[in-house]
Amino acid sequence: MRVLGDVLLGRRTAQLFFTHSSCEMSALYNFDLLVAGPLCMLIVLVLRRFFDLAERLPRWNRVLSWVWAPALFGFGITAVFRYRNPLLDDAYMLGVYALVVVTLLLLWSYRPARLVLLALAPLLLHRLIKFGLDLGDLRLLAPYASIFTSLGKFTTLWLIGLVLVARSQKRNLAKEQQQRQEEEQARQLIATQNAELERLVAERSATLTQQAATLQQALEELQMTQSQLIQAEKMASLGELTAGIAHEIQNPLNFVNNFAEVSAELLEELAEEQTKPAPDTELELELLADLTQNLQKITQHGQRAASIVRGMLEHSRASTGERSLTDLNALCDEYLRLAYHGLRAKDKSFNATLHTDFAPVLPLVEAVSQDVGRVLLNLFTNAFYAVRQRQQAGEAGYAPSVGVRTRRVGDEVEVSVQDNGTGIAEAVRQKIFQPFFTTKPAGEGTGLGLSLAHDIITQGHGGSLTVTSQEGQGAKFTVRLPI
């Protein structure tokens, strides 16, 4: 206890705190430097380790490592020459304190160093005052001496308290530094990962760009092929339509030719009758009546042929997309017969029963008649194809039949095309409106007819196109258009 007090407060102050005989004090003088030296080295060692001087101030750390040399020198002088000076240990302690202060000033940017310097300042000031008093052999008055002694105790407690605070502060700074290091490592790791991700993204982008170019080329080729197939489908439809129109227009032309020949024969008979001396008036009237009737028939069938030609021109004209009020009954009847005669033009042996059930009062619908006509022609053509396939299968007692029905259903007009052909399997019905899907043999279908028909009705007119079928029994396509 006496040693610690002598180190922190000085020998003279320790004499005020402790009571010893003159013999004891005289003996103590011989060992002041022997005790102060190790204590100072201990203080310096703690200081060096506490502030990590080997890393922060390596050169100054080597200087502090020689703090034992003055103590050893002073102890040698005292031991050899028997020179006893009570102020020698105080001077040595003050020198060590000065080194500590210099060290703390060099570490001024380090917060715990500033705190320790603040903690050491009162104690160092007290020791300097005490050393000055001892050096001048001065004594304070009794009341002031007691206060001075109490201040020495306070400076010791102040030093201990702030050193503990500095220790806690150092730990917190170490934690913060470790946390910053971890954050820096995390940032470096993230930066490395970002660089790797950027590299991978660049590689992936290059791959995707190449794939996109390949897909674009494939898409262009597909579009070209699609255009060719659509053109082939149009040409096939046009061929069927042309054949149907040729067969259809041949009937009125035959009537016109036949009635014209008969009319010519009637005119010859009328001329012969008029050359007779006594012409038969009743026969002349009868011939004139027959001739008038024939001319009416010629006019009627001529108008029918003109109507067919007019419809052909309208159908062949490119669709303008302009809608107009359309009579679906007339449109269905016209294209049903065109499709039927078109198939008969290719196969004279084919015959089918046509059933029509048109609503007597069917509202007109606003539609593009050419486009709706193409849809109906495609549905009728498929229906005749289905019944023809079943007929060629040689089924006993089978009679081909195709029917069309129109009616109003709420705010829509419905057109149903039904046949008793081969029917459509469930697996086929799910894909029947897909582009390029067809059940016809190669060369007979492109798989675009129903796909285009579905787009015309659903996308072009806001309606619907559905199918119901029983395999081996027939199929029914239903078109609904809003009124």
The residues pairing with 405 across neighbouring beta strands, listed in sequence order, are: 357, 416
Amino acid identity, residue 139?
R
CATH number at residue 344: 3.30.565.10
> Does the residue 254 lie in any domain?
no
Q: Are strands 365-367 and 401-409 parallel, antiparallel or unpaired?
A: unpaired
Beta carbons within 8 Å of 262's beta carbon, 6+ residues apart: 290, 294
> Does the residue 22 lie in any domain?
yes
> Does the residue 43 lie in any domain?
yes
Q: Tell me how many domains the chain contains.
A: 2
Residue that terminates a domain, selected from 123, 139, 155: 139
Residue that terminates a domain, selected from 92, 123, 139: 139
pLDDT at 53 over 60: yes
Q: Per residue in 105-152, pLDDT tens? A: 888 887 887 877 777 778 777 777 777 777 776 777 677 777 777 777
Range of 84's domain? 2-139
Instruction: State which H helix or E strand residue 43 sits in.
Output: helix 32-50
Find out whether 343 and 384 touch, Cβ atoms under 8 Å: yes
Q: What is the DSSP letter of 85?
A: -
* Average model confidence (pLDDT) across the chain: 76
> Does the residue 373 lie in any domain?
yes
> Does the residue 299 lie in any domain?
no
> Does the residue 225 lie in any domain?
no
Percent with pLDDT over 90 in the chain: 9
Residue 481's CB is within 10 A of a number of other CB atoms, namely 20
Residue that terminates a domain, selected from 139, 169, 199: 139
pLDDT at 309 over 60: yes
> Does the residue 74 lie in any domain?
yes
Flag whether the pTM goes above 0.75: no
Q: How far is CA 117 from CA 5, 114, 157, 168, in A?
A: 21, 5, 14, 15
> Does the residue 443 lie in any domain?
yes
Phi-psi map region of 462: left, alpha, beta (phi>0 left; psi -120 to 50 alpha) = left
